[in-house]
A = this chain, B = another copy of it.
Amino acid sequence: MTQAIPATKQTATFTKLVSKEGGVEYDLKPIHVCEETFAPLEVHYDYDAIRRQVSRESIAAGPNSIWRYRAFLPVASENPIDVGTGMTPLLKSTRLARRLGLKELYIKNDAVNMPTLSFKDRVVSVALTRAREFGFSTVSCASTGNLANSTAAIAAHAGLDCCVFIPADLEAGKVLGTLIYSPTVMAVKGNYDQVNRLCSEVANTYGWGFVNINLRPYYSEGSKTLGFEVAEQLGWKLPDHIVAPLASGSLFTKIYKGFQEFVKVGLVADKAVRCSGAQAEGCSPIAQAFKEGRDFITPVKPQTIAKSIAIGNPADGPYALDVARKTGGNIESVNDAEIISGIKLLAETEGIFTETAGGTTIAVLQKLVEQGKIDPDETTVVYITGNGLKTQEAVQGYIGEPLTIEPKLDSFERALERSRTLDRLEWQQVLV
């Protein structure tokens, strides 16, 4: 039986996979590496087709989720897996901006992304929609925590079997925030890079859809929506400068790609956007290469509290380097103490509680401003990619304690007096 095509139907705008080193082309299969160049594969689009399908108005009239940008995403389904992911707030900063001396600072807050409070919900929504199109019944991932949360949650929603792989030493909140969805969880005694290598073997042996291995070309495209949304939320304009965390480097390159695509199809005016990246000093292979002027990455062994971005051998490192250099951006790193200060600074000035990756990004933002590498006049967007409730261990011991009192007015008043004295003392210390 043939069905009438509804008026809103979009034709697929993605046409093939192409090696990132150019040249070699592949069909749209669950593969991720070019057999000839060993380079990652990337989805190729027909931008003329996209231009004919979308307008600012059609996007604004779309769902309040990443799927308003469906023409730019590599899925064929009329009904993608839409759990309300994306369209997270872009907050105009006042107090953090003033503290840093920036005139126009925006915070893109994926710490409240649906359903699992990190940007990974974007890439997983795309990957699992594509996994379903390929007919995979079991989905999987190699994860530093957030990806496991997201894959398990969205697989549960979609009714797909799920097996996730995490390093055994992850934060409790990330483990529990995965188990709650009842997937199979493999806790691997090793760091992320070892987890990732094991998963590549499993992917070759089992017929599973690994969101960040054999589905990676589709998966990674989901991060472009962090570029699209910022452009739309700024009133269909690009910012002057962005600061985002670097783990594998993929997110960073895809935000840039998102901006470029919006220019290409005429949704925003062309503009040079400087792209700066943030790493934790204890795992900063991309920042090191940037500083040393190298275009290759020397893998490192991670040793940092910022576990969600602790990838010692980042797959997209060279491409991230390239984006930072050609846009006039920078890549910096900060140590664990600075990361904790970054978490506290964002909480105390803006009321946003982010995880260690966000603390890293805020601390690098501050460092770049202090170094004069971000101009106070630049419209700057900082990307907060995950929630602080998942890495509570990181800040415990650095945030003070409640004042315990009896349920009586005089007990309260004594405590208040005590706390004010303490505040005054601290204040005097600052002045001294």
Contact = CB atoms under 8 A, between A and B. Distances in A.
Contacts of A280: none
A126 to B, nearest CB: 15
A38 B88 CA distance: 42
Contacts of A353: 115-116, 153, 177, 180-181
A244 B30 CA distance: 43
Contacts of A89: 64-65, 83-84, 114
A6 interface: no
A163, A179, A395 — most chain B CB neighbours (10 Å):
A179
A115 B190 CA distance: 34
Contacts of A189: 404-407
A343 interface: yes
A29 to B, nearest CB: 23
Interface in A356-413: 387-390, 392, 395-396, 399-409, 412
Given A344-B182, A348-B182, A403-B186, A83 B91 contact: yes
Interface string A72-96: 0000000000011001111100010
Contacts of A186: 402-403, 405, 412, 415-416
Contact of A349 (B84, B90, B156): B156
A197 interface: yes
Contact of A347 (B114, B117, B156, B409): B156
A157 interface: yes
A112 interface: yes
A211 interface: no
Contacts of A65: 89
Interface in A203-227: 205
A408 B95 CA distance: 49
A399 B187 contact: no
Interface in A186-206: 186-190, 194-195, 197-198, 201-202, 205
Interface residues on A, range: 35 or more
Nearest to A392: B176
Contacts of A308: none
Interface stretch (A49-57, A166-174, A261-269, A289-297): A166-174
B87 A187 contact: no
A350 interface: yes
Contacts of A406: 188-190
Contacts of A409: 198, 201-202, 205
B351 A157 contact: yes
A390 to B, nearest CB: 6
Nearest to A189: B406
A323 interface: no
A139 to B, nearest CB: 12
A273 B157 CA distance: 28
B416 A156 contact: no
B113 A202 contact: no
Given A115-B352, A173-B392, A412-B186, A84 B109 contact: yes
A175 interface: yes
Contact of A64 (B87, B176, B188, B202): B87
28 contacts: A64-B87, A64-B89, A83-B350, A83-B351, A84-B89, A115-B351, A153-B353, A156-B347, A157-B349, A176-B399, A177-B388, A180-B343, A182-B348, A184-B403, A184-B416, A185-B402, A187-B402, A187-B403, A187-B404, A188-B405, A188-B406, A189-B407, A197-B407, A198-B407, A198-B409, A202-B412, A387-B389, A389-B389
